[in-house]
Amino acid sequence: MKKEYSKEILEEISAKFPKVSIKIHSPRRTYIRISRDEVYDFAKFLFEEKRFRLSTATGIDTRDGLEIIYHFTLDEAGTYYNIKTVIPKDDLRIRSLASFLPAANWVEREIHELLGVDFIGHPYLKPLLTAETWPADLHPLRCDYADEHKDIKIKKKP
């Protein structure tokens, strides 16, 4: 029963947002690729109409750009819908979801400080986890951070 429910929703998604590409990894894990401009409307559709829950979001620094995955879940179906979007490294901006989804507030603040993505329209985009003295332009989870600080990372006790 649960599986069919899941299928129905996927059909509705592809009817409403024809540009998305859907990949089913396993029965309860689905990955959906979408362009940056559509993320806001898509997330709003999932949260307000379909009552999905935002579990969290992951930011990954990849070769093609900075990838953000919003992990939405539908608890009745027990399924994770992972909304993937790639934003180019020379323009690290995306529209914030926090205006209609309070749960996104801390999630976006975390990505903002660790990866340096600007969430446009976020009510309070201040560092959440790093110390007050931490430089604002240093983002620990970027690949270039590890390169620049290689000597520190591999330093071992004598």
Partner 1 sequence: MRRVVPIGPYHPLQEEPEFFKLIVEGEKVVDLEINIGYNHRGHEFISPTLTWDQVPFLVERICGICSDSHPYAYVLAVEDCAHITPPPRAQYLRTIIGELERIHSHYLWLGLAGHFIGYNTVWMWVWRYREPLLDLFELIMGNRNHYAINKIGGARRDISPEDYPKIEEYLDLLEKKNAMFTKAILDDPVIKARLEGVGILSREDAIAFAVTGPTARGSGIAIDVRKDDPFDAYDKVDWNEVVFDEGDVLAKTKVRLIECDESIKIVRQCLKKMPEGPIETRVEEIPPGEGIGRYEAPRGEVFHYVRSDGSNMPVRHKVRAPSFMNIPSNVVAVRGYSIADAALVLAAVDPCYCCTERTYVYEKGKRKYDGQDLLKLSWGKTEQIKRRYKK
State yes or no: residue 71 binds partner 1 (CB under 8 A). Answer: yes
The closest of 105, 116, 120 to 57, measured between CA atoms, is 105
Q: How many CB atoms lie within 10 A of CB 87?
A: 20
> Which tokens sit at 56?
């969290």
Q: Is 71 helix (H, G, I), strand (E, B) or coil?
A: strand
Instruction: Note whether 105 binds partner 1 by CB under 8 A.
Output: yes
Question: Are 53 and 75 within 8 A, CB to CB?
Answer: yes
Report if residue 80 touches partner 1, rule: CB under 8 A: yes
Site string for partner 1, 6-35 (x = CB under 8 A): -------------------xx-xx-x----
Nearest to 85 by CA among 97, 103, 99, 101: 97
Query: Contacts with partner 1 in 39-58 (CB under 8 A)?
Result: 51, 53-56, 58
Total residues in contact with partner 1, by rule CB under 8 A: 35
The Cα–Cα gap between 36 and 33 comes to 10
Say whether residue 130 binds partner 1 (CB under 8 A). yes
- Contact status: 153 vs partner 1 (CB under 8 A): yes
Binding site for partner 1 (CB under 8 A): 25-26, 28-29, 31, 51, 53-56, 58, 60, 69, 71, 75-80, 82, 101-103, 105-106, 114, 127-131, 140-141, 153
